[in-house]
Amino acid sequence: MGTPGEGLGRCSHALIRGVPESLASGEGAGAGIPALDLAKAQREHGVLGGKLRQRLGLQLLELPPEESLPLGPLLGDTAVIQGDTALITRPWSPARRPEVDGVRKALQDLGLRIVEMGDENATLDGTDVLFTGREFFVGLSKWTNHRGAEIVADTFRDFAVSTVPVSSPSHLRGLCGMGGPRTVVAGSSDAAQKAVRAMAVLTDHPYASLTLPDDAAADCLFLRPGLPGVPPFLLHRGGGDLPNSQEALQKLSEVTLVPVSCSELEKAGAGLSSLCLVLSTRPHS
Protein backbone atom coordinates (compact mmCIF):
# COMPACT_ATOMS: atom_id res chain seq x y z
CA MET A 1 0.00 0.00 0.00
CA GLY A 2 2.43 2.53 -1.25
CA THR A 3 4.81 2.87 -4.13
CA PRO A 4 6.54 0.58 -4.40
CA GLY A 5 6.36 -2.47 -2.15
CA GLU A 6 7.78 -5.92 -2.31
CA GLY A 7 7.63 -7.42 -5.77
CA LEU A 8 8.55 -4.22 -7.58
CA GLY A 9 11.75 -3.31 -9.32
CA ARG A 10 13.98 -0.57 -8.04
CA CYS A 11 12.99 3.03 -8.70
CA SER A 12 14.81 5.10 -11.29
CA HIS A 13 12.77 8.23 -12.01
CA ALA A 14 10.51 10.65 -10.16
CA LEU A 15 8.15 13.17 -11.73
CA ILE A 16 7.05 16.40 -10.03
CA ARG A 17 5.40 19.65 -11.19
CA GLY A 18 6.28 23.16 -10.07
CA VAL A 19 4.10 25.37 -7.85
CA PRO A 20 2.25 28.09 -9.81
CA GLU A 21 1.46 31.53 -8.45
CA SER A 22 -2.24 30.83 -9.02
CA LEU A 23 -2.17 28.22 -6.26
CA ALA A 24 -0.48 30.59 -3.86
CA SER A 25 -3.04 33.32 -4.49
CA GLY A 26 -5.95 30.93 -4.28
CA GLU A 27 -7.02 32.04 -7.77
CA GLY A 28 -8.87 29.22 -9.49
CA ALA A 29 -7.82 26.75 -6.85
CA GLY A 30 -11.40 25.97 -5.93
CA ALA A 31 -13.71 26.72 -3.07
CA GLY A 32 -12.33 26.23 0.41
CA ILE A 33 -8.64 26.33 -0.56
CA PRO A 34 -6.86 29.19 1.23
CA ALA A 35 -4.15 31.34 -0.26
CA LEU A 36 -0.67 29.96 0.41
CA ASP A 37 2.67 31.45 1.27
CA LEU A 38 4.19 31.09 -2.22
CA ALA A 39 7.81 31.22 -1.10
CA LYS A 40 7.27 28.59 1.60
CA ALA A 41 5.32 26.29 -0.73
CA GLN A 42 8.01 26.53 -3.40
CA ARG A 43 10.72 25.95 -0.82
CA GLU A 44 8.99 22.79 0.43
CA HIS A 45 8.56 21.61 -3.13
CA GLY A 46 12.21 22.28 -3.92
CA VAL A 47 13.38 20.33 -0.86
CA LEU A 48 11.19 17.39 -1.89
CA GLY A 49 12.74 17.38 -5.35
CA GLY A 50 16.21 17.61 -3.87
CA LYS A 51 15.61 14.65 -1.55
CA LEU A 52 14.28 12.54 -4.42
CA ARG A 53 17.30 13.34 -6.57
CA GLN A 54 20.19 13.57 -4.13
CA ARG A 55 19.17 11.40 -1.18
CA LEU A 56 17.31 8.68 -3.05
CA GLY A 57 19.37 8.81 -6.24
CA LEU A 58 16.40 9.13 -8.60
CA GLN A 59 16.47 10.91 -11.93
CA LEU A 60 14.16 13.86 -11.33
CA LEU A 61 11.89 15.15 -14.07
CA GLU A 62 10.13 18.43 -13.24
CA LEU A 63 7.21 19.69 -15.26
CA PRO A 64 6.96 23.49 -15.31
CA PRO A 65 4.15 25.11 -13.33
CA GLU A 66 1.02 26.05 -15.27
CA GLU A 67 -0.97 29.03 -14.04
CA SER A 68 -4.17 27.57 -15.51
CA LEU A 69 -3.68 24.44 -13.37
CA PRO A 70 -3.41 25.69 -9.77
CA LEU A 71 -3.57 22.16 -8.36
CA GLY A 72 -1.08 20.86 -10.92
CA PRO A 73 1.58 20.11 -8.27
CA LEU A 74 -0.74 17.36 -6.97
CA LEU A 75 0.18 15.23 -9.98
CA GLY A 76 -0.01 12.00 -7.98
CA ASP A 77 -3.74 12.12 -8.70
CA THR A 78 -3.20 11.99 -12.46
CA ALA A 79 -1.73 8.52 -13.01
CA VAL A 80 -1.35 5.05 -11.50
CA ILE A 81 1.97 3.46 -12.47
CA GLN A 82 3.06 -0.14 -12.11
CA GLY A 83 5.97 -1.58 -14.06
CA ASP A 84 5.97 -0.17 -17.58
CA THR A 85 2.24 0.67 -17.55
CA ALA A 86 0.71 4.02 -16.66
CA LEU A 87 -3.05 4.34 -16.24
CA ILE A 88 -4.02 7.96 -16.86
CA THR A 89 -6.77 8.81 -14.38
CA ARG A 90 -10.00 10.77 -14.73
CA PRO A 91 -10.14 13.13 -11.73
CA TRP A 92 -13.49 13.66 -10.07
CA SER A 93 -13.23 17.44 -10.49
CA PRO A 94 -13.69 18.47 -14.16
CA ALA A 95 -11.46 21.49 -13.48
CA ARG A 96 -8.56 19.14 -12.74
CA ARG A 97 -8.86 16.88 -15.79
CA PRO A 98 -6.55 18.99 -17.98
CA GLU A 99 -3.76 18.22 -15.48
CA VAL A 100 -3.35 14.77 -17.00
CA ASP A 101 -2.17 16.09 -20.39
CA GLY A 102 1.34 17.11 -19.40
CA VAL A 103 1.77 14.00 -17.25
CA ARG A 104 0.66 11.76 -20.12
CA LYS A 105 3.23 13.29 -22.46
CA ALA A 106 6.04 13.01 -19.91
CA LEU A 107 5.28 9.34 -19.29
CA GLN A 108 5.00 8.65 -23.01
CA ASP A 109 8.41 10.26 -23.53
CA LEU A 110 9.82 7.90 -20.91
CA GLY A 111 8.56 4.91 -22.90
CA LEU A 112 5.74 3.76 -20.63
CA ARG A 113 2.67 2.04 -22.02
CA ILE A 114 -0.22 4.48 -21.63
CA VAL A 115 -3.74 3.29 -20.77
CA GLU A 116 -6.59 5.80 -20.99
CA MET A 117 -9.85 5.86 -19.05
CA GLY A 118 -12.41 6.20 -21.81
CA ASP A 119 -15.53 5.73 -19.71
CA GLU A 120 -17.15 9.07 -18.88
CA ASN A 121 -18.93 7.45 -15.93
CA ALA A 122 -15.63 6.60 -14.26
CA THR A 123 -13.79 8.82 -11.79
CA LEU A 124 -10.39 8.01 -10.30
CA ASP A 125 -7.81 9.99 -8.33
CA GLY A 126 -4.41 8.31 -8.15
CA THR A 127 -4.10 8.92 -4.42
CA ASP A 128 -7.05 6.61 -3.85
CA VAL A 129 -4.93 3.73 -5.18
CA LEU A 130 -2.54 1.91 -2.84
CA PHE A 131 -0.16 -0.77 -4.09
CA THR A 132 1.55 -3.14 -1.67
CA GLY A 133 3.84 -4.77 -4.22
CA ARG A 134 1.50 -7.77 -4.09
CA GLU A 135 -1.95 -6.28 -4.68
CA PHE A 136 -3.90 -3.08 -5.21
CA PHE A 137 -6.45 -1.49 -2.93
CA VAL A 138 -8.68 1.22 -4.39
CA GLY A 139 -10.48 3.59 -2.04
CA LEU A 140 -14.09 4.33 -2.90
CA SER A 141 -14.30 7.97 -1.93
CA LYS A 142 -15.72 11.30 -2.98
CA TRP A 143 -13.19 11.25 -5.83
CA THR A 144 -13.14 7.61 -6.96
CA ASN A 145 -16.10 5.41 -7.88
CA HIS A 146 -16.67 1.72 -8.59
CA ARG A 147 -16.19 2.14 -12.32
CA GLY A 148 -12.83 3.78 -11.75
CA ALA A 149 -11.80 0.84 -9.56
CA GLU A 150 -12.91 -1.61 -12.24
CA ILE A 151 -10.63 0.08 -14.76
CA VAL A 152 -7.69 -0.29 -12.35
CA ALA A 153 -8.47 -4.02 -12.19
CA ASP A 154 -8.76 -4.25 -15.98
CA THR A 155 -5.44 -2.46 -16.44
CA PHE A 156 -3.35 -4.40 -13.90
CA ARG A 157 -4.65 -7.92 -14.41
CA ASP A 158 -1.59 -9.59 -12.89
CA PHE A 159 -2.58 -8.33 -9.43
CA ALA A 160 -5.60 -8.68 -7.20
CA VAL A 161 -7.56 -5.44 -6.92
CA SER A 162 -9.91 -4.85 -3.96
CA THR A 163 -12.10 -1.87 -3.12
CA VAL A 164 -12.09 -0.20 0.29
CA PRO A 165 -14.79 2.28 1.41
CA VAL A 166 -13.34 5.58 2.60
CA SER A 167 -15.54 7.06 5.33
CA SER A 168 -13.91 10.49 5.47
CA PRO A 169 -13.21 13.45 3.16
CA SER A 170 -9.71 12.04 2.59
CA HIS A 171 -8.26 9.91 -0.17
CA LEU A 172 -7.28 6.38 0.84
CA ARG A 173 -3.58 7.25 0.81
CA GLY A 174 -4.32 10.11 3.17
CA LEU A 175 -5.24 7.46 5.75
CA CYS A 176 -2.73 4.65 5.27
CA GLY A 177 0.35 3.58 3.36
CA MET A 178 3.30 1.20 3.35
CA GLY A 179 5.96 1.75 6.00
CA GLY A 180 8.07 -1.15 4.72
CA PRO A 181 7.81 -4.20 2.45
CA ARG A 182 5.29 -5.91 4.73
CA THR A 183 4.16 -3.15 7.09
CA VAL A 184 1.04 -1.04 6.81
CA VAL A 185 1.06 2.33 8.57
CA ALA A 186 -2.25 4.02 9.31
CA GLY A 187 -3.58 7.00 11.16
CA SER A 188 -5.51 6.65 14.39
CA SER A 189 -8.82 8.15 13.19
CA ASP A 190 -11.91 5.99 12.89
CA ALA A 191 -11.79 6.34 9.09
CA ALA A 192 -8.17 5.16 8.91
CA GLN A 193 -8.73 2.22 11.24
CA LYS A 194 -11.86 1.16 9.34
CA ALA A 195 -9.89 1.19 6.09
CA VAL A 196 -7.12 -0.96 7.58
CA ARG A 197 -9.61 -3.46 8.98
CA ALA A 198 -11.33 -3.67 5.59
CA MET A 199 -8.01 -4.36 3.86
CA ALA A 200 -7.13 -7.04 6.41
CA VAL A 201 -10.35 -8.87 5.58
CA LEU A 202 -9.79 -8.61 1.83
CA THR A 203 -6.14 -9.67 1.60
CA ASP A 204 -4.56 -13.12 1.55
CA HIS A 205 -1.17 -11.66 2.51
CA PRO A 206 -0.03 -11.03 6.09
CA TYR A 207 0.96 -7.45 6.84
CA ALA A 208 2.27 -6.06 10.09
CA SER A 209 0.68 -2.79 11.14
CA LEU A 210 1.73 0.41 12.87
CA THR A 211 -0.74 3.05 14.05
CA LEU A 212 0.38 6.69 13.94
CA PRO A 213 -1.26 9.51 15.90
CA ASP A 214 -1.77 11.57 12.71
CA ASP A 215 -3.55 10.31 9.60
CA ALA A 216 -1.42 12.57 7.40
CA ALA A 217 1.77 10.91 8.66
CA ALA A 218 0.62 7.64 7.10
CA ASP A 219 0.74 9.30 3.68
CA CYS A 220 4.32 8.23 3.11
CA LEU A 221 6.32 6.67 0.27
CA PHE A 222 8.21 3.40 0.61
CA LEU A 223 10.91 3.44 -2.07
CA ARG A 224 13.56 1.03 -3.26
CA PRO A 225 16.21 3.23 -4.92
CA GLY A 226 18.14 2.13 -7.97
CA LEU A 227 21.53 2.34 -6.26
CA PRO A 228 23.18 -1.06 -5.59
CA GLY A 229 23.49 -1.98 -1.94
CA VAL A 230 21.35 0.92 -0.73
CA PRO A 231 18.54 -0.09 1.67
CA PRO A 232 14.95 1.03 1.03
CA PHE A 233 13.84 4.48 2.11
CA LEU A 234 10.69 5.80 3.68
CA LEU A 235 9.93 9.34 2.57
CA HIS A 236 7.73 10.75 5.32
CA ARG A 237 6.46 13.96 6.85
CA GLY A 238 9.12 15.59 9.00
CA GLY A 239 10.86 18.92 9.37
CA GLY A 240 8.54 19.91 12.21
CA ASP A 241 5.40 18.50 10.58
CA LEU A 242 3.23 16.19 12.68
CA PRO A 243 5.63 15.87 15.65
CA ASN A 244 3.39 13.43 17.51
CA SER A 245 3.99 10.78 14.85
CA GLN A 246 7.78 11.07 14.61
CA GLU A 247 8.52 8.80 17.58
CA ALA A 248 6.23 6.08 16.25
CA LEU A 249 7.93 6.17 12.84
CA GLN A 250 11.25 5.35 14.52
CA LYS A 251 9.87 1.83 15.12
CA LEU A 252 10.18 1.09 11.39
CA SER A 253 13.52 -0.69 11.37
CA GLU A 254 13.57 -1.98 7.78
CA VAL A 255 13.88 1.45 6.16
CA THR A 256 16.00 4.56 6.21
CA LEU A 257 13.77 7.46 7.22
CA VAL A 258 13.91 10.53 4.98
CA PRO A 259 11.85 13.43 6.38
CA VAL A 260 10.36 16.21 4.27
CA SER A 261 7.85 18.94 5.03
CA CYS A 262 4.71 19.84 3.10
CA SER A 263 2.79 21.79 5.74
CA GLU A 264 2.15 24.74 3.40
CA LEU A 265 1.23 22.61 0.40
CA GLU A 266 -1.05 20.57 2.67
CA LYS A 267 -3.36 23.60 2.79
CA ALA A 268 -4.19 22.83 -0.86
CA GLY A 269 -4.88 19.19 -0.06
CA ALA A 270 -1.40 17.89 -0.81
CA GLY A 271 0.11 14.81 0.83
CA LEU A 272 3.43 13.23 -0.07
CA SER A 273 1.77 10.67 -2.35
CA SER A 274 0.14 13.46 -4.36
CA LEU A 275 3.31 15.50 -4.89
CA CYS A 276 5.29 13.04 -7.00
CA LEU A 277 5.03 10.06 -9.31
CA VAL A 278 7.76 7.43 -8.94
CA LEU A 279 8.62 5.00 -11.72
CA SER A 280 9.61 1.57 -10.50
CA THR A 281 11.19 0.35 -13.73
CA ARG A 282 13.79 1.78 -16.04
CA PRO A 283 11.80 3.08 -19.00
CA HIS A 284 13.32 3.56 -22.42
CA SER A 285 14.93 6.95 -22.81
Q: Which residues are catalytic?
A: 171, 276
Handedness of CA 206, 211, 217, 219 (dihedral sign): positive
Beta strand pairing status for 113-115 and 85-88? parallel
Q: Which of 49, 44, 143, 166 is nearest to 96 (CA)?
A: 143
- Give me the half-sphere count of Cα atoms (radius 13 Å) on the Cβ side of residue 223: 29
> Residue 269's closest CA among 28, 30, 22?
30
- Cα separation, 100 vs 92, in Å, equals 12
- What angle (nearest 5°) sits at the alpha carbon of residue 89, between those of residues 165 and 278? 95
Query: In this structure, are strands 79-82 and 59-63 parallel, antiparallel, or unpaired?
Result: unpaired
Q: Please tell me what DSSP assigns to residue 164.
A: E
- Secondary structure E strands in the chain: 13-17, 59-63, 79-82, 85-88, 113-115, 129-131, 135-140, 160-165, 176-180, 183-187, 208-212, 221-223, 233-237, 256-260, 277-279
